[in-house]
Amino acid sequence: MKRTIEDIHKGYSKKDFSPSELIQEYLSKIKNLDTKINSYTEVFDDKVVKHAKELDKILHKNENNFLFGVPISLKDIFLVKDEKCTCSSKMLKNYVSNYDSCVYEKLSKRNILLLGKNNMDEFAMGSSTETSFFGPTMNPWDISRVPGGSSGGSAASVSAGFSCASLGTDTGGSIRQPASFCGIVGLKPTYGRVSRFGMIAFSSSLDQAGPLANSVNDAAIILDSVTGFDSRDSTSLNLKPTNSYNSLINDTYSFSDFTFGVPSKLLEIGLDDEIKYKFDELIKNLKKLGAKVIDIDLPYAKYAVATYYIIAPSEASSNLSRFDGIRYGFSEESENGDLIESYINNRSKGFGEEVKRRIMLGTYSLSSGYYDAYYLKAIKVKQLISNDFKNAFSNVNSILTPTCPELPFKLGEKKNDPLKMYLSDILTIPANLAQLPSISIPLGLSNQNLPIGIQLTGNRLDEVNLLKMASLLEKEINFTKELPKF
């Protein structure tokens, strides 16, 4: 049985188990079963066992700390001092960080138990966790299928019960899409709500850290723990930490308090039949429950994928230029000692195919003569997409769609067709471009026993109401299906 953060907190309060006993349970699961899933790049066995023994001694002093002694994992994009941070790339396979990311700093102050680092698409570039240097991650619901990406290792570990929760990153859907594919909750906060300090950059104007968890309440607990202004991140918003969990459990609210917007034109093409049926049934039920559901238009959202695949690769080409094998990263001495040849050799062998593809796309878009035609135009369309959302939020509290247009696909099915792979994120990318908070929660299972997720996108900085709406839906849907054995 999978435990939530709230379950563990109650268990400690009742003295049902100690941190040491709990961590052994998780480590045993990982050791026995993760060979089939490959959700971790590294497990901190000795370190976390030692930390758990220390927490055993102070258990009675932490009754108000919900994250005390909770086994959590991190996507292998967050720096942890004296530990490897590889971004699942050959380029960084031996890189050891000399400082902590802001996200981990905040979590460690809460005395979490850090289980290890989760597998991911290389440098967070992918939608299936198949581009990892350490091999693909499998979906716990069906190990012949992908868990989504790029935070696929994080989603799979939470779904399989190998961690209670995980921190991932979302640049174009990389928290929400794998959450949908793995039947868990995934939250992307407002851009700037969570510090990016110590989080290896992919696309600086789009990247945002957020939780993957087993419940909306758990996601709120983690969100409250990692938010707040950080002067080390120039994009960090000067806001106080959120207090969304207290609002969730103490405020009075119902479906009749909220208006949901459905962009029906955006959902006309490419939606899987089973997903469409489940989504239509949900809309009917929402109306019966007293929610107001209205049709809205997001006319520029159809350009989101094209816009994203100019902006994100352009920023990636700049961010990844530092990985040259000279200052740090994979290095192999050139035969004739030529500097330029060394750069080419190190980057050609250190980066995988998808990363090289995006670097080339981005470099081309930023090059002389093409900047105005591609990158500048994409920035203008990004603003138009943002304006669409602003107009919509004058009439609705959230925008409701399926998280993904398709069910989890087979391993290898799209690996050699990048364009088909990119379209997996067609419903998640708009929220990133508009820098809005967005959450995926489980809706149910398909006839093939594969998870289906729904997505709620909220107004800027309105995580509290977004989580309230998600919580109402979660209780109504009551997704309690057990994982098949793998």
Catalytic residue of the set 18, 39, 75, 151: 75
Cβ pair 436, 389 in contact under 8 A: yes
36 a catalytic residue: no
What per-residue string of b and e applies to 78-94 under the rule 16 or more CB within 10 Å gives b? bbbeebbbbbbbbbbbe
The residue type found at 42 is: E
Catalytic residue of the set 101, 174, 244, 342: 174
Cβ pair 432, 206 in contact under 8 A: yes
278 a catalytic residue: no
Spell out where 91-248 has E strands.
113-118, 165-170, 185-188, 208-213
| Distance separating alpha carbons of residues 463 and 291, to the nearest angstrom | 19
- DSSP character string of 322-384: G-SSSSSS-----TT--HHHHHHHHHHHHS-HHHHHHHHHHHHHHSTTTTIIIIIHHHHHHHH
Collapsing DSSP to helix, strand or coil, 306 comes out as helix
Catalytic residue of the set 150, 180, 195, 225: 150
Collapsing DSSP to helix, strand or coil, 199 comes out as strand
- DSSP character string of 232-274: T-TT----PPP-HHHHHHHS---GGG-EEEE-GGGGSSS--HH
150 a catalytic residue: yes
The residue type found at 260 is: F
What are the structure tokens assigned to 115, written together?
């289980």
| Distance separating alpha carbons of residues 216 and 435, to the nearest angstrom | 21
Cβ pair 198, 102 in contact under 8 A: yes
Q: Which residues are catalytic?
A: 75, 150, 174
